[in-house]
Amino acid sequence: MGYVKKERIKSFQDIIFDLQRYWSDQGCVIMQPYDTEVGAGTSHYVTALKALGDDNWDVAFVQPCRRPKDGRYADNPNRTQYYYQFQVIMKPAPKNPQELYLKSLEAIGFDLSVHDVRFVEDDWENPSLGAAGLGWEIWCDGLEITQYTYFQQVGGVVCSVPPLEITYGLERVTTFMQNVESHFDINWNGRMDEKKLTYGDVLGRFEREFSCYNFDVASVDMLLEHFMDYEKECQKLLNHNLVLPAYEQCIKANHCFNLLDARGVISVTERASYIARVRVLAKSCCQAWLESL
């Protein structure tokens, strides 16, 4: 295939290096992942909270994401409960953001003259975060590889300086670049010899065990209690004006909810009420954050 460099394969880690280098050159601070379970890079406080307020803020980082319900015991080639996003936030958005994005694809080795890249409408909403924005899914030859969103509100608060969020699905981008069909076949380290490590080598066992944990074994009673504990702790910390630790409790509560959901113990009606409870926490944190600026 013309788009795979013959001499050396573009590895999973190469793509991360390239994106970090590229966005660093665009003036983004390169951070490391948030160290608690989140469903998306959006939940990282450097996205959710920093989206509010008037200050400029350009950042890029890899974020491992947990979506317990998406686990498939490593049986499905492209659905997993743990995966990586590459998240870019530019606040405010620059004047030529789409061009910057397309150049980033070239920076990781895409040949835009042979691929059909399209901006397909996306009304983005995150009900737990009270966040919404407009943008696109970016499709490459029919595959969605990126979400591109101009935030309009977070925590129910309108953004005074709307940030741009670009979220690459790193596994999707890589399967595309490496012309493989399954995430687990991704060449992680770029080696072609006996030292080659695939995504499956690195994360296969993790995926299998966590699928079992999420769906079959996680202690429901414990999670229910944790949810309430985190909820209480969040409120308490807000009373102490400790916004960031409070927000972290909110994220943890949300992950408990996601696990309970995967365990299949949350009915449709309860579901809405859990989401509403998390949203109340998120909103309170956003409010407190704004007031503290």
Nearer to another protein, 112 or 244 (CB): 112
Give min distance, CB of 83 to another protein, in A.
15
Output the smallest distance, CB 108 to another protein, in A.
16
Strands (E), the chain: 29-30, 57-66, 82-91, 117-126, 131-140, 143-154, 157-158, 164-169
**Which of 117, 242 has the CB closer to another protein?**
117
- The residues that touch another protein, with contacts defined as CB under 8 A, are 1-3, 76-79, 92-95, 98, 112-121, 123, 133-134, 136, 140-143, 150, 152, 160-162, 176, 179, 181, 267-269
Contact 145, 124 (CB under 8 A): no
Residues 252-277: b if buried by 16+ CB within 10 A, e if exposed: bbbbbbbbbbbbeebeeeeeeebbeb
38 or 145, CB closer to another protein?
A: 145
Buried b (16+ CB within 10 A) or exposed e, 185-201: ebbbbbeeeeeebbbbe
Which tokens is 15 given?
């793509």
Output 134 or 280, the one with its CB closest to another protein.
134
Which CB atom, from 110 or from 247, has the smaller least distance to another protein?
110
Measure the CA–CA gap between 213 and 17, rounded to whole angstroms: 32
Our CB check for another protein shows the closer of 114 and 222 to be 114
Helix (H) or strand (E) holding 173: helix 170-178
Residue 139 CB, nearest approach to another protein (Å): 9
CB 258 within 8 A of CB 67: yes
Which pair of structure tokens corresponds to residue 84? 């990586």
Shortest distance (Å) from residue 129 CB to another protein: 18
Using the 8-state DSSP alphabet, how is residue 35 labeled? Answer: S
CB of 224 to another protein, least distance (A): 18
Residues near 145 by beta carbon (within 8 Å), at least 6 away in sequence: 138, 139, 168, 169, 172, 173, 176
Q: Which two structure tokens, joined as six digits, stand for 93?
A: 């958005």
Query: Is the CB of residue 57 less than 8 Å from the CB of residue 89?
Result: yes
Least Cβ distance, residue 89 to another protein (angstroms): 13
Least separation, in Å, of the C-beta of 136 and another protein? 6
Please, which residue, 105 or 251, has the CB nearer to another protein? 105
Six token digits for residue 1: 């295939």
Between 25 and 116, name the residue whose CB sits nearer to another protein. 116
Measured from the CB of residue 176, what is the shortest distance to another protein in angstroms? 7
